[in-house]
Amino acid sequence: MKNLWAVLSVVCLAWLPQTASAWDGFDAATTDLVEIIPDSLPSRGDTVDVRNYDGDTTQTCLVEDVTQNARTVEVLVRSPDGQARMLIMEGR
């Protein structure tokens, strides 16, 4: 009976709505903590919002390149002012 309750509790927890975890990383040049919104792997040509936690700002950027490594994802973005930023994100 004990095992049945354990199985049922795991199944019930799996059905509860889960909050999506943020896709966090850092800016390679400044080491500022950043988050990419939406929380999905972007493709070249996509626009993403880059939230900078250290400056408490959000900026919409164009994705120029995405490179997946063993443990990280490198996302090269260009901001509206023309500045290129390399973001090192947690692996997917």
- 18-46 residue pLDDT tens: 444 468 999 999 999 999 998 889 999 99
The three-state DSSP-derived secondary structure of 30-90 is CCCEEEEECCCCCCCCCEEEEEECCCCEEEEEEEEEEEECCCEEEEEEECCCCCEEEEEEE
Give the global pTM. 0.74
CB neighbours of 87 closer than 8 A, spacing ≥ 6?
Answer: 25, 26, 27, 28, 34, 36, 50, 74, 75, 76, 77
Residue 91: its pLDDT value, please?
A: 85
Percent of residues, the chain, with pLDDT higher than 70: 75
Identity of the residue numbered 68: Q
Residue 70: its pLDDT value, please?
A: 92
**For residue 73, is pLDDT > 90?**
yes
Residue 23: its pLDDT value, please?
A: 83
